[in-house]
Chains A and B, each alone.
Chain A
Amino acid sequence: MSEKSFETLYREWQEKTEELLQKYPEQKNRFETLSGIGIERVYVPDGASRRESERIGLPGEYPYTRGIRPTMYRSRHWTMRQYAGFGSAEETNRRFRYLLEQGQTGLSVAFDLPTQIGYDSDDPMSAGEVGKVGVAIDSLADMETLLQGIPLDRVSTSMTINAPAAVLLAMVIAVGEKQGIPSHLLTGTIQNDILKEYIARGTYIFPPQPSMRLITDIFAFCGEHVPRWNTISISGYHIREAGSTAVQEVAFTLANGIAYVEAAVKAGLEVDRFAPRLSFFFNAHNHFFEEVAKFRAARRLWARIMKERFGAQDPRSMQLRFHTQTGGSTLTAQQPDNNVVRVTLQALSAVLGGTQSLHTNARDEALALPTEESARIALRTQQILAHESGVTDTVDPLGGSWFVESLTDAIEAEAEAYLERIDEMGGAVAAVEQGYMQREIQQAALETQRKIESGGEVVVGLNRYRLEKETEPELYRVNPKLAQKQVVALQDLRKSRDSVQVEACLERLKQGAAGDANLMPLILDAVRTYATVGEICHCLREVFGEYQPMV
């Protein structure tokens, strides 16, 4: 640690930030309250102690407790990225364009379960699920429709896809080629986080080892060809939704992060080459201050892990960047309008915690997919926070609060204890294989349920303040005819494409999988011939086998 006093560090930070402002100015020259009181960029303690300067530091400076950029939202708001997708590519493309017109700043694609698990829409396994929780994508043809009219170099596209992430990323690259956008200009994110699928969400295909290989293949390929793409979004969101505590969310997510970095280093990649493209995804849950502290603790812990454990040199390798989604499992089916209030508070905690991108849930999500109206209210919630509340006027406004700093320290310490335990077990992959994290989360979920049922934890409208008679709002319904249409289109595609070419590409992919070639170029070739998600994944299933969970 530096020997400099906090005053010196602060002065140097101010000078550096002034320089930065020449290039990236803030949104206003002067920030002030509604009464006209001036607002500083960041508030710092008087006569700060050594402890404060080392543990808390300054925004944009290691260990990044106060945020990854010196000016944060004064320069640019977070990306407003609403997760959307349902039915066909055509219908989802319409919702995307609607959200962009309404001021959304990034896209986030929800895929249906068959796509997420590598089945085509006409596979018997897909019965009943086509287009339900997201959009059905069978081939490049669907991806072309999905992204039609979206400038892929200007609007970043996040895709919640894990087991078949390589296939869907290859499709985006291929659409880029058709739009005339070379791969090095594409911006976006694939979730690509398989470990949390085994732990919490269940959309896995292959066993852990080949899954880890696919992930490091993507890191290596994108490092060279798609450098602006976030190659993974290491997700605590689903861990929390499965019932974990905030501490477990941080601990297990970072444990998974460590496993990915180790796998990539072991595959021969240099840490500073891929680590700047790692990103994270957290939940914003109910306890307001604990959530703010959670984000700050995660950032500080990751910075230390990258610097001390992996010897990263590039500051971007140490900066934990994250997307946040408000907590779906906190929403009630009872009195759904109350969810707008829950979402607002959760979103505020994410903003005060320094998120880079945010999805706010819609009020009707405990009942069905959001209607257009409820999706719009969810987006407006973010816009009101960004433009009206004033919480974006200064960086890390809760920094220095005794409560928040103390909670940040506590979450960090408890998460570290978990990380040590997981290290002793042989790392996250071993811990997942032994069912350790799954058991810890399930225990926490049961405790929460018991507290809710005993009334120890109050859920407004559910175990208190219930209405005698609930009226259900108008819900969104996926058109049942879409699945049939999707199947017909897929079968037409199979007839019209060059099947000799498709077969040859799939055969080469199979051989590559059996050997140790980087699979991304082979998948990209297959995608270009309009080979389907199901065909490509079946090919890999034949070589890699399928994961069999312990029940």
Chain B
Amino acid sequence: MNRPIRVLVAKPGLDGHDRGALIIAQALRDEGMEVIYTGLRQSPAQIVATAIQEDVDVIGLSCLSGAHNELFAEVMSLLKEEDAEDIVVVGGGVIPQSDIAGLLEKGIARIFTPGTSTKDTADFIREAIKRREASS
């Protein structure tokens, strides 16, 4: 890929805690990626529409309210409807270990829980994009 990786950092639902989303957005910019942040209170439909319009490679979903199972799954099914499953989706927030398997089954590439370093997140994204490029 000849252009920088484009990432949409998104806050689905009504959760207003955006410290993590803002930190991740800045950290990925520092790693050379192009980052768009949606701001608060985005519906899954708005997030998917923005992702397609902005032609992003990655969506990073952040949720601390416990609504991740409903909201992340909705984003995945809308991406499928829009034939945009090539977008790599990662998630983060207050997410119990026991919910992670279910989210991965829905097609989310990785769930980052509290305490993850931003470097690990950036490395994972680069690897995932590389794998996608190789397989396409």
Chain A residues within CB distance 8 Å of chain B: 113-114, 116-117, 119, 124-129, 132-133, 197, 201-203, 241-243, 329, 332-334, 366-369, 442, 445-446, 449, 453, 459, 462, 472, 475, 478, 549, 551
Contacts and interface: CB of A to CB of B under 8 A. Distances in A.
B37 to A, nearest CB: 6
Interface residues of B, number: 34
A114 B96 CA distance: 22
Contact of B14 (A113, A197, A333, A462): A113
Interface in B1-49: 13-19, 22-23, 26-27, 37-41, 43
- Of B26, B69, B119, most buried by chain A (CB within 10 Å of CB) is B26
27 contacts: A113-B14, A117-B41, A124-B43, A125-B14, A125-B43, A126-B14, A127-B74, A128-B71, A132-B65, A132-B67, A133-B65, A203-B14, A203-B16, A243-B19, A333-B113, A333-B115, A366-B114, A442-B26, A445-B22, A449-B118, A453-B119, A462-B115, A472-B96, A472-B98, A475-B98, A478-B66, A551-B37
Given A128-B70, A445-B22, A117 B14 contact: yes
B22 A472 contact: no
Nearest to B73: A128
A202 B22 CA distance: 13
Contact of B67 (A116, A129, A197, A442): A129
A114 B14 contact: yes
B68 to A, nearest CB: 8
Contacts of A128: 13, 67, 69-71, 74
Given A453-B119, A549-B39, A472 B97 contact: yes
Contacts of B101: none
Contacts of B14: 113-114, 116-117, 119, 125-126, 129, 203
A133 B93 CA distance: 14
Contacts of A446: 23, 26
A241 B16 CA distance: 12
B90 to A, nearest CB: 17
B115 A332 contact: yes
Closest 9 CB pairs of A and B: A202-B16, A128-B70, A113-B14, A128-B67, A551-B39, A132-B66, A333-B114, A462-B115, A472-B97
B111 to A, nearest CB: 12
Nearest to A478: B66
Contacts of A472: 96-98
B22 A442 contact: yes
B13 A113 contact: yes
Given A114-B14, A445-B23, 15 more contacts: A113-B15, A113-B16, A117-B14, A119-B14, A127-B13, A127-B70, A133-B15, A242-B19, A243-B19, A333-B113, A366-B94, A368-B96, A369-B66, A446-B23, A475-B98
Interface in B103-136: 113-115, 117-119
A334 B94 CA distance: 12
Contacts of B97: 472
A366 B64 CA distance: 9
A333 B92 CA distance: 13
Contacts of B65: 113, 129, 132-133
B40 A549 contact: yes
B42 to A, nearest CB: 11
Nearest to A461: B115
B98 A129 contact: no
A396 to B, nearest CB: 33
A201 B19 CA distance: 9
B117 A453 contact: yes
Contacts of A126: 14
B94 A368 contact: yes
Contacts of A366: 94, 114
B99 to A, nearest CB: 10
